[in-house]
Structure 1
Amino acid sequence: MAQQPMTPFFPIFASKSDGQHIVNLKGRPLRNGPTEEQLNTSPNDQGQRDFYRLIEKEDPKHQDWRKKLGGMLLREIGGKQFEDRWQQCILWELPENYVLYEHIKTKADGQLKTVKNHSGGGHDRQDAYLYGYPKGPKKRFRSPVEFFPHLLWLCTDENSDMANCTCKMCSPAGDVEKPQAKVEVKQEQPAPIKRENSSSGAIPNTNVTGRNPIVQIPARRSSTGAPIPSPIVKPSTPVAGPRPAPTPAAAQIRAPPTLQSTPLPQPRSIEQQADLSYNKFLCRSGEVVWFFRPKTSAWGLGLVVRRWATKEVPMSRAYLIQPLSHPFESPPQELVQTDDHVKPWLAWSAPSCTFPFLQQNPQFEYHNTDWRALISGQGGEGIASVDASILAAKAIDTTYTLFQCLKTNKDDKGNEVRQYNGMYLGAEKIWRGEAVRLRIGATGTDLMVVTDIIEQVLVNPPTTKVIAIGDVYSYATLDAPDANLPPKPPQQNNNIPSRMVHDMVWRNRMLVPLTRTAAWWKLIQPAYKIDIDDIKGRWYETSLVFQEPFAKAVKNGEGGNGIWMNSRGDATGKGKGASVAQPDRIGAFGASVPKGTRVVEGLEPPSQPMGQQQQAHDGMDINMGGGNMADPFSIDEFMHVDHLGDDAGMEYGGNNNYTF
């Protein structure tokens, strides 16, 4: 059988977008897409799944939307002179920040449910929804026909006046001043489609999948109410071939402008410099961590009071940890000498308390629990020190403490704006210049690179608010059909933190050969402001903390950016809520640590013995992982993206380097 001829498709671009990745509703930022709960693919008690799945650009359903939109757009704004290309045109990308999701429901056995469609027949229910409309996630488009009037308005209204848009979101049913679109749909049987290569500007070759719906759009009206005709607009440069000459008055449909990233703040200390560098210390002084206790062969919760490395073993890690407990116990500090024996507080879910009384009365927290009564056995059988550590960690999870004030500005009314270099947020220590995980965003996996931490103190009414400012990044992928020649991301960005770049290099060394896709960090919102309650926690490298879940997800075809950590607030059940300010870090721990406990900043090793177990570390000098202090650590090396893939610490087999 002769091979079916392939038909080239001609790309056009939306001139602008009103799409928003994050929206502000009632004064609060909100993810403009499915909620985290809707993105959860876990089955319920009956084994059924009901979730939303992100539809990638190369997915046939995504391509079908864009071909229909492209054909309708060219027909409406190009007119009869482009009639021969109405069925061969594709919208190269959806407008910026518009994202397509698929709603999937399954039966208990994992099979898709069979439900009735509008014509009365049965089919597998997998509805697609387009999110991004600026009035929030409840305003979503259900089909290309439904979205097209809004797309047409975006491409033709120079004033961006929503009064001129005839889509159902901008012009809801019942508004007599705005007539509804008349829709006549002619649909042919779709043919197989060849996968697009989204990594370059080349025009993809693919089969025709059928005619686009024919849509008659009512005339848009100007601000004065007079109808205006549709302008004639030529498409973006197609593949070589004859084409009618455009009219002199034709306007060009342009790609959206390139976003500009924010320069990274420079570290102000060796300690901050180390924490912003790849594979230095997993945990930090002042943080709550899980740590392994050899005497009991169990994991406990404690406060990191000091950390250091040794000159003799540059990649060594040493943590001095104060176990958390109840007010009537002062456990001695313990030494941990490997990152393998410490885990972030949010890496694991807190277990239930051991006392039946606390299990049955979750309203009791660390501060209002009668620890003497529990110790005396009045709460049943349990271990007071274990339960105290759990409740103490939960209490600390709701606190924050700002540190290293850099600047204070005061207006004539007495209001102050203070800039800080870092903050303790819940169990963790966060610096300017590093990535944090966000509650908001379309996928639930977006990151913000914090460039400023601002405290606003108002006099009337007395109010204190803390916001983080930074660039928001989303995980994105490109086709990589040739593992030896991976594509370059469309954004060239020198302001991505070195830790994020190193980690993506590691991920791509597995992703590219196994999935023929390459991942990269896509800038979606520069200089964005959020309340600190919208921060899930600090970001950890997949290559250092989640190697096994990542490898399993990639091999199972589940992608390379799974959600493997808890969020701040999960352990308490309070979720996102008002944070409680603490003037200093030790104050957040209250009676859960002995009086006189002190957090030692910096990376210097102790100069005095800390018990027989720690005597081997006396007098050791700090080393940042490569040479000695005569060979100083260079921040320029770690901030220059072009050279990050050459780090000696990134050896992973194979000869290819993938820097994204």
Structure 2
Amino acid sequence: MARFTTVSVARSDGRSEYLHNGSLVPNEPPRKDETPGPDGSIDFYLKLQENDPTTLDWKRKLGGMLMKDIGGSEHAGTNFILAELPKDYVLWQHRRVKAKNGKANPDTARQDTYLYGHPNGKGRFRSAQEFYPHLLWLACDQENNCFLNCSCKYCYPDRKVGTEAVKPEQSEIVSKPSEGRAEPPRAASATPLAKEAAIKARPRTPQIVNSKTAEQQLDSNPANDFIYRQGEIVWFSKRTSAWGLAVVLKRNMQNNERQYLLQPLSHPLNYPAAVVRDRDSIRPWLAWSVPHPTIAQLRELTFDQVPWDRVVNGEFGKGDAEVDGSILAAKSINESYSLFDRVDLPTAPTDVHYKGMFLGGEKIWVGEPVRLMGRTKDEIVILVVNQMIERVIDETSAVTIVGDIYKFIEMPMPAEYEDRQNWPVNEDLPVRVNADLNFRNQVSADAGGNTWCEWRLLEPMARKGLNDIKGRWYETKLLLPTLRGQAIFDQDVQAGTVSDASLFMNSRGEVLGSRPGVRKKNRLATLGGAVPSDTKISRGLDGPPEDNIIPAQAQ
């Protein structure tokens, strides 16, 4: 029998009731009647007790995560369990059994557990991992303002839309663990022992930005059809048969066309002039595979290891030094990352939250999906980024991406969806993802097809490392006309067989076998000697308007 130390969080913002249309209603699930339905199916919610095995499992996970973050090194190796869930937070188990021949079919039985009690009344936590950011806020935040300082999916300002919140009462924020022994599932609570220790939460002074930045809002808007983002690496047409590699400096509308100012990558002895290209003359960084350098002796060297003066003088043999500079620079960039727009939240002292990051050649934001490594090459899996957390210990950086994992599913269209007014909208998905999903289902329905597409939740609040991420997620309607050609795309639309854009993209780990792992101070430090030293990357709507103007002399 494992020994556990109990830990308590004294404060709670839980509510057994919440305001709805001006009236107080119970903060609990709607169906609690176990009586089978007319067809024999079973569908109800069961309130779980403190000694239920599922409740104990939640408390063990929450206690362990909390003390790992705020307990300090002196508690390393100790098993912790939450003494009790915060007041008015209650676990309910949704039990469903479909009917077959008028009776409940046990082969279809399903049980899902949810934690109710959030003061907005609309949010229910689907796992201990999903609730943990809110528990951490309860244990740490001195300001007691969840709608500014909590990073959970229901409080985080970027997702706060029209909630009727009841302000929690002020109370002391102290967490007191006491050693005990975790009993088997029948036990009601851990058994306290004589020794007790007090661990005070370490408050942080939050400096919260209450909403997405203007540039972040633009990139999350499905009406925005700027595919490429400032600071990203892209392929561009040299207006010959060749394509080169460049970094996006600016993007803007010119003559009713979306234009990009690009700085070609090169070696540090010669920099080509910046060029302007439209969308049709650009491809995403991961759309194509990177070739080996034209000079064989450079293949085992990094960009910074190459004596470029000797290469230019021909000492390493024949080849194209400019092309090789861009290839090696792109490989180095692909192995690097940097974070930006820091957000101070109550969290562990070693953890820092950010709104966005450059991961390899791409720019990603909190609140948007990224392509995730699947079990097979053709499995389409995304992670909707809820948090980007960097933990620095002994000058070593480790980044964790937290979010919900979804798998793309194609299946026969349910009968009730033949009426398009019945098509569901998953409000947990970003609007760009829902817009793309709606487009694909419309294409199928318009062509008389019977295929229904949806994103099915696999794991809420999963924690992934950078090597688990393939790259940015792109809308089918936005990218496939560029990758496959407008004519082929139009044919697919007419046939109702539009493919997923991710099937035509590489993953970050496929770029000459590289994986991101080198932390850089910022994007310019990542680009290094591959661009001129006075290079400036526009911050778009987050920077001065004049920085977005594309010079007329650029070709």
**TM bracket (short chain):** 0.5 to 0.7
Shift of residue 544 of structure 1?
Answer: 1.4
Please tell me whether residue 339 in structure 1 is matched to residue 279 in structure 2: yes
Change (3 A) 1:403 1:456: same
Quick check: 1:272 aligned with 2:216?
yes
CA contact (8 A) 2:476 2:499 kept: no
User: Residue 596 of structure 1 corresponds to which residue in structure 2?
Assistant: 534
- Alignment correspondent of 1:60: none
Residue of 331, 342, 350 corresponding to 1:416:
350
Q: Deviations over 1:539-585 (max 9, x none)?
A: 111111124487669969897576221111211213xx461000011
Aligned residue runs from structure 1 range 134-145, under 5 A? none
SS at match of 1:391: helix
Distance 1:480 1:270, change over 3 A: same
Within-5 A mapping of 1:143-542: 236-240=98-102, 253-254=109-110, 256=112, 262=153, 265=158, 268-278=212-222, 279-294=224-239, 296-310=240-254, 313=256, 316-336=257-277, 338-358=278-298, 362-407=299-344, 415-440=349-374, 444-459=379-394, 463-480=396-413, 485=419, 493-512=426-445, 513=447, 515-542=449-476
Residue aligned with 2:508, SS: coil
Q: What is the TM-score with the length of structure 2 in the denominator?
A: 0.58
Report the secondary structure of 1:493's partner residue: coil
String of CA shifts for 1:506-531, please: whole Å, max 9, x gaps. 22233333641110111221111111
Does 1:565 pair with 2:509?
no
TM-score between the two structures when normalised by the length of structure 1: 0.50
**Aligned-pair distance for 1:420?**
0.5
Task: Give the counterpart letter for 2:387 in structure 1.
Answer: D
* 1:463 shift after superposition: 3.7
Name the structure where strand makes up a greater proportion of residues: 2
Q: Deviations over 1:35-79 (max 9, x none)?
A: xxxxxxxxxxxxxxxxxxxxxxxxxxxxxxxxxxxxxxxxxxxxx
Contact conserved, 1:508 with 1:518, CA < 8 A, in 2? Answer: yes
Contact 1:480 1:486 in 2 (8 A): no
Q: How many residues align?
A: 366
The Cα shift of 1:289 comes to 0.8
Write the distance in 2 (CA, Å) between the matches of 1:234 and 1:426: 44
Q: Secondary structure at the match of 1:569?
A: helix
One-letter amino acid matched to 1:571: V
1:553 and 1:583, CA in 2 relative to 1: closer, same or farther beyond 3 A?
Answer: same
CA distance in 2, matches of 1:578, 1:608: 32
Q: Distance in 2 between matches of 1:571 and 1:607?
A: 31
> Which protein has the bigger helix share?
2
What secondary structure sits across from 1:589 in the alignment? Answer: helix
C-alpha distance 606-441 of structure 1, shift in aligned 2 (>3 A): same
- How far apart, CA to CA, are the structure 2 residues paired with 1:562 and 1:609? 31
The answer to whether the 8 Å contact 1:285/1:601 transfers is yes
Is 1:610 equivalent to 2:551 in the alignment? Answer: yes
The CA deviation at 1:426 is 0.4
Amino acid at match of 2:441: N
What residue identity is the alignment partner of 1:471? Answer: D
Q: Which runs of 5+ in 2 are unaligned?
A: 1-39, 43-51, 55-94, 115-123, 127-152, 160-210
What is the deviation of 1:431? 0.6
Counterpart residue type for residue 238 of structure 2:
R
CA deviations 1:436-464 (Å, max 9, x no partner) are 011245764210110111111235xx543
Partners of 1:363 and 1:568 lie apart in 2 by 19
Contact 1:486 1:518 survives alignment (8 Å):
no
Q: How many Å apart are 1:339 and its aligned residue?
A: 1.4
Offset of residue 286 of structure 1? 0.8
Deviation at 1:292, TM superposition (A): 1.8
| 1:392–1:562 distance in 2 versus 1, CA, 3 Å | closer
- SS of corresponding position for 1:367: helix
- What is the SS of the residue equivalent to 2:231? coil
Amino acid at match of 1:333: A
* Equivalent-residue separation in structure 1 for 2:380 and 2:421 (angstroms): 23
Aligned to 2:520: 582
Answer with 1 or 2: which has the greater Rg. 1
Aligned residues of 2:337 and 2:516 also touching (Cα < 8 A): no
Q: Is the 8 A contact 1:308 1:605 kept in 2?
A: no
